[in-house]
A and B are shown apart, each in its own frame.
Chain A
Amino acid sequence: MRCVVATSNVKVLGKAVHSLSRIGDELYFEPLSSGLALRCVNSSRSAYGCFLFTPLFFQHYDSGAPPGGLEDSGFRCKMGMKSVQTVFKSLSSLDKTVEKCEIDLNPGGNRLVFQLHCKYGITKTHNLSFQESESLQPVFQKDGYANVLRAQPRLLADTVVHFPPSLEEVNVTVSGERVQFRNHLEDEQDASKMMLTEMSLDADEFESFQVREETGITFCLKELRGLLSFAESSGLPLSMYFDQPGRPVVFGLDDPVLEVNFVLATLSDEETTTHRERNRSRPPQADTSHDDFLSDDMDSYMIAMETSAVGGAEAQPCSTGSDQRRERESDTAACSTRSDHRREREPVTAACSSGSKQQRGRESESEEEEEEELPGTPPQKRFRSLFFGSVLSPYSQGANQTLRNQEVLAEASDSDPEEQEEETAKK
């Protein structure tokens, strides 16, 4: 296995690594006949990124596969992300000083050697240790999605800048001619304390705006930012594929020499619906061009405040948090659904899996195995591994039974042969 990357492409390779580092701690390295695949997945398996560099990207590319082009070399490994990042540490100096980057498997077969040939006769050699690993193969079809948006990455970057860097999750809603980005509130966060930001873009700003299903999805913004910075520097148009909530959203960049795909899990229906109920009191923003006083009416609020003050209770919305909560509860109906939602949180895992079964409608297995462990399970991480199956708590991840019953989007290729047969039968 040997690849040689020339001058400016070394920086691209470095950027790809940095971009994947936003997702997880391990870089999966797989030389295929179709090109070199660098992949990464996050610990909860709800985000996946892949950079596929075709042979054209390289000055020299030998995947180590037997000649004939029909089989792959079978060599695949994973390395610590930090180690690979160290190789491509300073991107600006990569550009200026590196003439060539060679990636080889060392003769002993136990180290992946990254050799940077720089100016002035300097050679930097990094011997990285690796672990043989399973192939990370996500199963997704870009053709199957109802909604496809394509735009210059600058557009998305300009949108995302309005949201705080700490923002975890963003909600994207499309309808007809507009798309709206909104920050998504976690259940635990108090809506009366959080600043809500919303940005809407017109369809005209996109290179392509195909919306067959008016829908809204919520996904983690943090993991996407890595792709956005790569996309901006590449200047390639970024495509976004999505439809129902629960189904992962795919972001892609396409180029003759490079194919990039980022797949992110989205919140399922149950979680997004209750959030929408909570937000019902927020009037739609589409008509900000009109000057309407509908949402400006503070009088009813003032009346409510004065009457509670008259009633003896010290209505001081500015002082303690508990008072504020009392104030809110006397307000609109939207607030009460919030407390309901909190109660729903415990059994949501059970609801989710049965709900998701309906959505997918393919499982024939019984639900018993999941329900055994689900009631009473503490609320899972927000993005249940919608990606690699439904609810996967840390201790059930090893439970192959749970996996069998759900649609696995990306499977470990070294799983049991019987399971594999079942998976293939289901596809």
Chain B
Amino acid sequence: MRFRAKMIDIGCFNHFTRVVNTISKLTKTCTLRLTTDKLYFILSDKVANGGVSMWCELSQGNFFDEFQLEGVSTEHNEIYMDLAAENLFRALKTAHNAKSLKIKLTNKHCPCITLAVELPSLSRVSRVVTHDIPVGVIPKKLWNDFKEPSVPDFDVSIYLPPLKTMKNVVERMKNLSNFLVLEANLNGEMNLKIETDLVSVTTHFKDLGNPSWGDNGSQDSTQDRDPETMMDVKVDIRKLLQFLAGQQVNPSKVICNIVNKRIVHFILLHEDVSLQYFIPAHA
């Protein structure tokens, strides 16, 4: 099993760092899956996460100049490992003016992802900073736990309002209630509602736009429905806020799919990085 990659473009560093920063804000530990052409940051929906799951996919070609991977076997040319995204972010953070960044899978006192950052220096010899981030290699028989989630059979699909605005609203609501109802319809309208014994607050968003999914089966079924009907899901407000506050990458559009009373699914697309986040409804 071997993995070595090299990055030399400053723009790539910064972009990669921002992606890792977002991941580190969404979850403490996640699974990194490496294939010959993609990197995936995966959080599978365990009870420990409160059922939240995440799938982030990047094309390695957009970031790395060199990328060599030898997976567990030739038929399964992939590597899965657990790591603390925060460590990776910390290591990348100080590499913003690096000359080059090399990432390797190594086996020191334990399996590690080693980042070797070459920095400009005052002398002819560059400064080298190495970070050894311990990882847990995941054996092949557990790979089924980390399958790509399928897009759910949603009832409504809508574009979110600007994340910053939405984050500010949800942040204020967090002080009043632990749960928030997110509802939307096919007319580009979305409401965020909280309700307690003392107060209920609703924020209305209009003209958001609904993405068209083309041949998607669920699209047909919704066409019969009245576009004004609201589909809603009640979620833990902190999970929603974690998702909104964690965004370091500014995506052009964020799609929100709601399965009535069951789950909300967010999809962000930004320059060949796609991030999907699922929050289940509160029981």
Question: What residues of chain A have their CB less than 8 Å away from a CB belonging to chain B?
Answer: 155, 158-159, 161-162, 164, 191-205, 278-279, 281-283, 285, 288-289, 293, 295-302, 305-306, 309, 315-318, 324, 327-328, 331-332, 334-335
Docked-complex contact A197 and B129, CB < 8 angstroms: yes
Interface residues of B in 62-79 (CB under 8 A from A): 72
Q: Which 9 residue pairs spanning A and B have beta carbons closest together?
A: A204-B123, A317-B136, A202-B125, A298-B1, A318-B136, A318-B82, A192-B110, A196-B132, A195-B87
Task: Confirm or deny: B150 has a beta carbon within 8 angstroms of a beta carbon on chain A.
Answer: no
Docked-complex contact A195 and B109, CB < 8 angstroms: no
Cα–Cα distance between A332 and B110 once the two chains are bound (Å): 9
Cα–Cα distance between A196 and B106 once the two chains are bound (Å): 13
Question: B1 contacts which of A203, A299, A318, A324 (Cβ < 8 Å)?
Answer: A299
Docked-complex contact B106 and A195, CB < 8 angstroms: no
Task: Confirm or deny: B206 has a beta carbon within 8 angstroms of a beta carbon on chain A.
Answer: no
Task: Confirm or deny: B225 has a beta carbon within 8 angstroms of a beta carbon on chain A.
Answer: no
Docked-complex contact B139 and A306, CB < 8 angstroms: yes
Docked-complex contact B91 and A195, CB < 8 angstroms: yes
Docked-complex contact B110 and A298, CB < 8 angstroms: no
Given contacts A202-B123, A318-B82, A305 and B139 within 8 Å (CB-CB): yes
Q: Mark contacts of B229-272 with chain A using CB atoms, 8 A cut-off: 1 yes-contact digit, 0 otherwise.
A: 00000000000000000000000000000000000000000000
Q: Which residues of A contact B139 (CB under 8 A)?
A: 305-306, 309, 315-316
- A192-B109, A192-B110 are known contacts; what are 5 more A-B pairs with Cβ within 8 Å? A195-B91, A197-B131, A199-B130, A302-B137, A324-B136
Task: Confirm or deny: B104 has a beta carbon within 8 angstroms of a beta carbon on chain A.
Answer: yes
Docked-complex contact A301 and B129, CB < 8 angstroms: no
Given contacts A195-B134, A198-B129, A305-B137, A296 and B4 within 8 Å (CB-CB): yes
Q: Can you list 10 contacts pairing A with B, beta carbon distance less than 8 Å?
A: A162-B129, A191-B109, A195-B133, A199-B128, A200-B128, A204-B122, A282-B109, A302-B1, A316-B142, A317-B82
Docked-complex contact B90 and A195, CB < 8 angstroms: yes
Cα–Cα distance between A161 and B117 once the two chains are bound (Å): 13
Task: Confirm or deny: B124 has a beta carbon within 8 angstroms of a beta carbon on chain A.
Answer: yes
Q: Which residues of A contact B132 (CB under 8 A)?
A: 195-198, 282
CB distance from B71 to the nearest CB of A (A): 11
Q: Which residues of A contact B122 (CB under 8 A)?
A: 155, 204-205
Cα–Cα distance between A124 and B134 once the two chains are bound (Å): 54
CB distance from B66 to the nearest CB of A (A): 11
Task: Confirm or deny: B127 has a beta carbon within 8 angstroms of a beta carbon on chain A.
Answer: yes
Docked-complex contact B105 and A296, CB < 8 angstroms: yes
CB distance from A175 to the nearest CB of B (A): 14
Question: A205 contacts which of B4, B94, B127, B129 (Cβ < 8 Å)?
Answer: B127
CB distance from B96 to the nearest CB of A (A): 11
Cα–Cα distance between A360 and B134 once the two chains are bound (Å): 39
Given contacts A164-B90, A317-B138, A293 and B130 within 8 Å (CB-CB): no
Q: Which residues of B contact A162 (CB under 8 A)?
A: 94, 129, 131
Task: Confirm or deny: B51 has a beta carbon within 8 angstroms of a beta carbon on chain A.
Answer: no
Docked-complex contact A285 and B125, CB < 8 angstroms: no
Q: Which residues of B contact A159 (CB under 8 A)?
A: 127
Docked-complex contact B109 and A288, CB < 8 angstroms: no
Interface residues of B in 116-171 (CB under 8 A from A): 116, 121-125, 127-134, 136-139, 141-142
B121's nearest neighbour on chain A, judged by CB, is A205
Cα–Cα distance between A61 and B109 once the two chains are bound (Å): 58
Task: Confirm or deny: B28 has a beta carbon within 8 angstroms of a beta carbon on chain A.
Answer: no
Task: Confirm or deny: B209 has a beta carbon within 8 angstroms of a beta carbon on chain A.
Answer: no
Q: Which residues of A contact B107 (CB under 8 A)?
A: 295-298, 300-301
Docked-complex contact A296 and B123, CB < 8 angstroms: no
CB distance from A31 to the nearest CB of B (A): 40
Docked-complex contact B124 and A296, CB < 8 angstroms: no
Cα–Cα distance between A195 and B134 once the two chains are bound (Å): 6
Cα–Cα distance between A198 and B116 once the two chains are bound (Å): 9
A197's nearest neighbour on chain B, judged by CB, is B131
B104's nearest neighbour on chain A, judged by CB, is A296
Cα–Cα distance between A331 and B137 once the two chains are bound (Å): 14
Q: Which residues of A contact B84 (CB under 8 A)?
A: 195
Docked-complex contact A204 and B124, CB < 8 angstroms: yes
CB distance from B101 to the nearest CB of A (A): 12
Docked-complex contact A198 and B137, CB < 8 angstroms: no
Cα–Cα distance between A295 and B31 once the two chains are bound (Å): 22
Question: A193 contacts which of B125, B134, B142 (Cβ < 8 Å)?
Answer: B134
CB distance from A160 to the nearest CB of B (A): 10
Residue with the highest number of chain A CB atoms closer than 10 Å, among B72, B87, B106, B107: B107
CB distance from B212 to the nearest CB of A (A): 39
Task: Confirm or deny: B2 has a beta carbon within 8 angstroms of a beta carbon on chain A.
Answer: yes
